[in-house]
Amino acid sequence: MARNNSTVNLAPKMLRSIEEMRAFEAVRPLGLVPTMGYLHEGHLSLVRRAREECAAVVLSIFVNPMQFGPQEDLERYPRDEGRDLALAREAGVDAVFAPEAREMYPAGFTTEVRVRGIEDVLEGAARPGHFAGVATVLAKLLNIVGPDRMYMGQKDAQQAVVTRRMISDLDFPARLVVCPTVREPDGLAMSSRNVYLGPEERAAAAVLYRALTTARRSGNRSPEILEEVVRETVLTEPLVELEYVSASDAGSLGPVTADTREVLLSLAARAGKTRLIDNVVIG
């Protein structure tokens, strides 16, 4: 169903309102790539996968205020819609849904989707309310866009687990497709927030993936040892401060047990003022 890549792509339809998005008559299957914009190769890999599997692709661009805490970077989150649209066109997106915040959260808005338990650990413990914001906006996007498949990156591992659970529990008629993390040549996971990094911080940040792969290569599956290897490796880089590292069950995000099939080794860290996350799955 993929279109010929040599075709010149038309500019995607630009849809600003929920009403316009609903009126967009997509061929099926329809793929949705939800983003906060400032697109990078990670997002584009999701679009490519969606183009391979779907007859039409909608990219959403929405910096979702509900998933930011009061002390977080909502105001300074990087934005460049012109560049995003050019990349979306190049990647063969059929429509871009880019609503304003007041379109998504009009006066009186009060509903919240909670994925209890899963939302409270790891990133959810560090960022209270974050996953309620994520689950709520994704429930809205699923209802507004009505995709058959929704695409996310493994970099946001917990987001993928929360979303899969929400889709399953609330019976949304869509399937979640999780794609591999795309990395810079030195291993740093692609992120819109990488633009915050100064040159020295940028170089230092490579320690995070190095720490994760060192732990994975150790061959050990003990959570304590995996976490300790990450801690010791990150300590070698004075410009990077580890916020947490955790080895958990990749399915439940709970503790690793005898039944654990895959271990999610995930971390958050700061390089200067910039908060970064990354993870690897150990089979």
**Cα–Cα distance for residue pair 230/277, rounded to 1 Å:** 13
CB of 21 to a second copy, least distance (A): 9
Residues catalogued as catalytic: 43
**Cα–Cα distance for residue pair 113/119, rounded to 1 Å:** 11
CB of 276 to a second copy, least distance (A): 28
CB of 259 to a second copy, least distance (A): 13
Nearer to a second copy, 71 or 110 (CB): 110
Nearer to a second copy, 25 or 171 (CB): 171
DSSP designation for 43: H
Residue 1 exposure: Cα atoms within 13 Å on the Cβ side: 15
Q: How many Cβ atoms sit within 10 Å of the Cβ of residue 222?
A: 12
* Residue 140 one-letter amino acid: K
Nearer to a second copy, 119 or 156 (CB): 119
CB of 187 to a second copy, least distance (A): 34
Contacts to a second copy by CB under 8 A = 18, 22, 108-118, 135-136, 139-140, 143-144, 146, 165-166, 169-173
> Tokens at residue 58, please?
């909608």
Q: Which helix (H) or strand (E) holds 204?
A: helix 199-204
Tell me if 144 sits within 8 A of 126, measured CB to CB.
no
Nearer to a second copy, 14 or 18 (CB): 18
